[in-house]
Amino acid sequence: MLNVMLVDDEPYILQGLKVIIDWESEGFYIEHVCSNGREALKYLADNDVDLIISDIRMPEMTGLELLETVKREKITDAEFVLLTGYDDFTYTQRAIRNGCLDYILKPVNEEDLISILRRVSNKNRESVLLKRDREKMEDAYLSRIIRHLIQNKYNEEDIDYADKNLQLCGKIRYIDIEVILRQPDPDSDGADDYDAAQVQKQLFGACREVLRENVNHFVLDASYYEDNYNIGFIYCESMASVRGMGETEFLESMIRKLEVLAVKPVRMLCGKTVDNISDLHESYESCRSLKSITGFHSTKKLYIFEETEVPHGSIVLCKNTVDEIVAAIERNDTAAIEQSVVKLYTELQGKEGSNRAFDLNINYLLFQLINLASEQDDSVDQEEIVQYISEQTSGKEFVRGSHEHLTKFATEYALYLSELRKSVSRGILADVENEIKKNFAENISLKDLGDKYHINSSYLGQIFRKKYGMSFKNYLTNYRIKEASRQIINTDKKINRIAEDVGYKDSDYFIRKFIEIMGCTPSKYRKTNRGE
């Protein structure tokens, strides 16, 4: 409902305006009535309205003086309509030059009033849509800047924009916020992209609700992992200090609030603190490293990078035994893998600071395994190797951190390396490209394609990126948006129908992706390319 203020010094005219039409059926509500311009200004000082209908001739302050004061002092953005007689027409012309929307001749005619109200209603609707489009454009642009920062591919303009649009004060962290989803049935294909996107959207809305004053510190799809639906969060220490809280207390409180709103368990992975937004990539990289080792520990809701660091020289590294595990993985020797893992756990038992000793040895093992994969294929993306490790260690078949859990991971990694050694990419990428062309509107994933063509999905993702210069997920998104842009220009379909046709059940998610790739909203793209 749009709020209306009526201003006239004649009570019977005010009463007549109230009853001449059914205001609510037109989407309006008479919020307040005043007898002159001064009363109106006093009310507007503390209240908002959407439409002012005022007589021109009034004592103390005329309607024209009210209009000029409102516009000059920028008191309200409300539309202004004047009530006038034929002999006031010169004043009316002056009023229109000063920003008055229109005028209504006295005595007020029902049809004239309704016509004005519908103009105001349509203009307000267009204004709301333009505001929403502008906000979506700004969100998409800031998200792009944050991705530049975490990838360490920024310029000075990016830094300036981030400084102006983020509320930064004190030290900064990159934090990954994710929903802890129930593990899928091993015999099923798991949740599809639409379901994951819906969970992500719900979590994103919860984040912005919990921290309303810092809504622009949350970003969707900050990571360039395949199939990642987490929320990136740029945290600064003032968020806790202004609330009289310590950092851990603030983050734990935030998790509890998010779980209430998202109705799902939530966890945070906090990268190391940095001094400036220009160093955000360092915090992101440490968050990425943190993600890879959390899979070897029992699940908790808050991981902080500094709490996992191991003091140099204070913990014993079982280098020889870890090297044995690496060698067994390289040979794909299942029996040797199990023996060396048991040996490692035996060596770690009873040692002082055994938890930190375990972290140190796992970190060393992962470092060696990443290097091992890189040696098989120098084009392998280390980012995706870390993601692969994180995925392979997240299952609940064995207790996380147990020797059975580590043995299972090491055995699967050995199979992964064997895929890297094979020359399997010939012909498969062409098949994958044809799959996208035929089924782009369906829920297709690397996992499905890997299963279909008998290739490790992580390796398929790596060779796909090598050929096309982007991830499978981004390639599919680009293909869908390009097809949508073709339909937008060449058909009269509604935008939400086109979104469904190219594979998006959520039109808001589609619009955000369209803006990121095409640089404008779908409706603006249609108007621009049709010359409307």
Query: φ and ψ at 144, to 5 degrees?
Result: -65, -40
CA–CA gap between residue 191 and residue 210 (Å, rounded):
27
Residue 102 β-bridge partners? 81
Q: Percentages helix, strand, coil for the chain, rounded to the nearest 5? A: 60, 10, 30
Q: For the chain, how far is it from start to end, CA to CA, in angstroms? A: 30
The CATH superfamily of 143-308 is: Reverse transcriptase/Diguanylate cyclase domain (3.30.70.270)
Question: What separation in angstroms does the CA of 291 have from each of 40, 296, 355, 490, 499?
Answer: 59, 10, 17, 45, 34
Mean pLDDT over 385-400 rounds to 66
Q: What percent of the chain stands above pLDDT 90? A: 35
Residue type (1 letter), 336: A
**Residue 190 has what pLDDT?**
38
368: Cβ–Cβ under 8 A, 6 or more apart, which residues? Answer: 322, 323, 326
> Peptide bond preceding 11: is omega within 30 degrees of 0, i.e. cis?
no
Residue 221 DSSP SS3: coil
**Residue 378 has what pLDDT?**
60
**Residue 354 has what pLDDT?**
62
Closest CA to 268 of 308, 301, 316: 301
Q: How confident is the model at residue 248 (pLDDT cuts 50, 70, 90)?
A: very high
Mean pLDDT lowest among 42-51, 222-231, 238-247? 222-231
Question: What separation in angstroms does the CA of 306 have from each of 221, 303, 417?
Answer: 25, 9, 31
Neighbours of 46 (CB within 10 A): 6
- 461, 453 contact by CB (below 8 A): no
The CATH superfamily of 2-108 is: Response regulator (3.40.50.2300)
CA–CA gap between residue 477 and residue 307 (Å, rounded):
38
CA–CA gap between residue 180 and residue 82 (Å, rounded):
58
Residue 2 DSSP SS3: strand
**Residue 186 has what pLDDT?**
37
Q: 446-478 pLDDT, tens per residue?
A: 888 888 887 777 778 777 877 887 888 888 999
H/E stretch holding 313 reads: none
Q: 207-219 pLDDT, tens per residue?
A: 999 998 898 899 8
Q: What percent of the chain stands above pLDDT 70? A: 85
Q: Is the pLDDT of residue 187 over 50?
A: no
- 271, 175 contact by CB (below 8 A): yes
Closest CA to 221 of 531, 509, 13: 509
Mind spelling out the 3-state secondary structure of 384-423? HHHHHHHHHCCCCCCCCCCHHHHHHHHHHHHHHHHHHHCC
Ordered alpha helix ranges (H), 245-333: 247-262, 280-294, 305-308, 319-331
**Phi/psi-derived region of residue 503, left when phi > 0, alpha when psi is between -120 and 50, beta in every other case:** left
Domain boundaries, the chain: 2-108, 143-308, 319-421, 428-530
Q: What is the largest CA-CA distance in the chain?
A: 102
Q: 84-124 pLDDT, tens per residue?
A: 876 666 777 778 788 898 888 888 889 999 999 999 998 88
**Residue 228 has what pLDDT?**
63
pLDDT, the chain, mean: 83
Q: 408-452 pLDDT, tens per residue?
A: 889 988 888 887 776 555 567 888 888 888 899 888 888 888 888
Q: Which strands form 172-179's sheet, in the order they lie side by side?
A: 218-220, 231-236, 172-179, 266-270, 302-304
Q: Is 143-308 the same fold as 2-108?
A: no
H/E stretch holding 5 reads: strand 2-7
Say if residue 500 is exposed, middle or buried (CB neighbours under 10 Å; 0-12, 13-18, 19+): middle
Query: φ and ψ at 304, to 5 degrees?
Result: -120, 125
CA–CA gap between residue 522 and residue 142 (Å, rounded):
19
Query: φ and ψ at 84, to 5 degrees?
Result: -145, 155
Task: Dump strand ranges (E) for 125-226.
Answer: 172-179, 218-220
Closest CA to 430 of 438, 419, 422: 438
Say if residue 468 is exposed, middle or buried (CB neighbours under 10 Å; 0-12, 13-18, 19+): middle
Q: 306-319 pLDDT, tens per residue?
A: 887 655 555 677 88
Q: How confident is the model at residue 152 (pLDDT cuts 50, 70, 90)?
A: confident
Tell me which fold the domain 428-530 belongs to: Arc Repressor Mutant, subunit A (1.10.10)
Give how far the C-alpha of residue 10 lies from the chain's centroid of Cα atoms, to the nearest Å: 54
